[in-house]
Amino acid sequence: MNRLALLVAGTAVLAVSTITPAGAAALPTGSTETVTSCGYSGLQAGLNTRVCAEVTGTTVEFYGTVGLAGPPSPGGPWPDPKELITTLSTEVVGGVALSTRTSQVIFTASTLQLRGPASTVPCGSTVRATFAAASYPRPAQPVVHEVTIAC
């Protein structure tokens, strides 16, 4: 298999695995401390992206991260800054959309964290977040994470 075919096959597997979550993270019952969980990472715009959740009681706050996909080559230059358009959307599964936040940011080399608003949801709810990052000419390939609020 040539390198291009291997790259295309690997990208397709990664895209499917990041869009289809393995299952919602179950959080401890009655917890009043903040519990953080993250979904699978994925490549978007040539960068490593991930969406995470911080849950305290029945309040959940999602955030997306953007970082380098790997270290720069030894002795090579740092990557050029990239203009990114990011979108973080949250919803109660089978219910209402909670928020959508779109931002235009410049990625230089340091990991960025893009936060959404905190939302209070009913006990037993499963909340899903989708995080996308696009940079011309590369379209977004969103990553997804779900959490279930146990009480």
pLDDT of 70 > 50? The answer is yes
pLDDT of residue 150: 87
Please report which helix (H) or strand (E) contains residue 111, including its range. none
pLDDT of residue 6: 37
Q: Judge whether 26 and 37 are in contact, CB under 8 Å.
A: no
Q: Judge whether 28 and 37 are in contact, CB under 8 Å.
A: no
pLDDT of residue 74: 84
- Kindly state the DSSP code that residue 4 receives in the 8-state scheme: H
Lowest mean pLDDT among 1-10, 123-132, 141-150: 1-10
**Better pLDDT: 105 or 109:** 105
pLDDT of residue 87: 97
Please report which helix (H) or strand (E) contains residue 3, including its range. helix 3-19
| Domains of the chain from N-terminus onward | 3-148 (2.60.40.10)
Read off the pLDDT band of 126 (50, 70, 90).
very high
Quick one: three-class SS letters along 5-59? HHHHHHHHHHHHHHHCCCCCEECCCCCCCCEEEECCCEEECCEEEEEEEEEECCE
pLDDT of 45 > 80? The answer is yes
pLDDT of residue 98: 93
Question: Which residues have a Cβ under 8 Å from the Cβ of 117 and sit 6 or more positions away?
Answer: 61, 98, 99, 101
Tokens of 137: 């000419």
pLDDT of residue 25: 53
Lowest mean pLDDT among 27-31, 41-45, 60-64, 118-122: 27-31
Q: Which of 92, 81, 75, 25 minimizes the C-alpha distance to 53?
A: 25
Can you give the length of the chain in residues?
Answer: 151
Please state the pTM of the whole predicted model. Answer: 0.77
Read off the pLDDT band of 7 (50, 70, 90).
very low
Q: Judge whether 22 and 114 are in contact, CB under 8 Å.
A: no
